[in-house]
Amino acid sequence: MSPRRSAVDTRHTRERIIEHGVALASTEGLDGLTIGRLATELGMSKAGVLGHFGTKEGLQLAVVDAAAALFTREVPERARPAPPGLPRLRSVCEAWIAYLERDILPGGDFFTAAASEFDGRGGPVRDAIKGLTELWHRDVRLHIQLAISEGELPAGTDTDQLLHDLVGVMLALNLFRQLHEVPQAGARARHAVNALLG
């Protein structure tokens, strides 16, 4: 086998491990993501899985990064064609709701589950989850601020309060879809967003 082919195979194997890891972590949590379980489910040796990441923490960090890339493709990138300001903010919220409705991951929103799992801990995995969540909240805050500056939202709008409320809608949507299996959860989330954005 040529070195180039070997590198391609290695990359594909790593991607396959991470993809399976993201789906598994969405239902079992990042702590449920073990080298042994992945090896068994993917038909690999433990050493074969471990060799791609070095440690369980390295695997968890790779899975968190992959979950963030998935979210980026499914939410902000889908909203990008909308004009900046309130239309983009509405498009972001719709893409966020649709992302949860389409059950792209079996356990619903990856970061809702990961944040609940790691919010009381320290360490690099918590820092990665917190940092990526803060980046997303910063982006939503910027959309809100632009909508205010364009006169599309009232001048007195509290940016941080509106961000808090929109995130709360999405957390509630994930809860009512995943735990309570409420069929109308998406419609209720849209109603809540419309009430918040006027």
pLDDT at 147 over 80: yes
| Contact yes or no for 38/24 (Cβ under 8 A) | yes
Task: Assess whether pLDDT exceeds 60 at residue 95.
Answer: yes
Mean pLDDT of 169-193: 97
Tell me, what's the pLDDT at 7?
A: 83
Q: Provide DSSP, 100-123.
A: HHTTSSTTS-HHHHHHHHHTT--S
115/68 Cα distance (integer angstroms): 13
Q: Residue 197 above 90 pLDDT?
A: yes
pLDDT at 5: 62
Q: Report the length, in residues, of the chain.
A: 198
- Is it the case that residue 54 has pLDDT exceeding 60? yes
- Do 38 and 21 form a contact (C-beta atoms < 8 A)? yes
Average pLDDT on 162-171 reads 98
Structure pTM? Answer: 0.92
184 pLDDT exceeds 80? yes
Residue 196 pLDDT more than 80?
yes
Check residue 3 and give its pLDDT: 60
| pLDDT for residue 2 | 59
Q: How far apart are CA 114 and CA 109, in angstroms?
A: 9
Domains and CATH numbers, the chain: 3-197 (1.10.357.10)
Over residues 150-175, the mean pLDDT reads 98
Sign of the torsion formed by the C-alpha atoms of 91, 84, 151 and 154: positive
Q: How high is the mean pLDDT of the chain?
A: 95
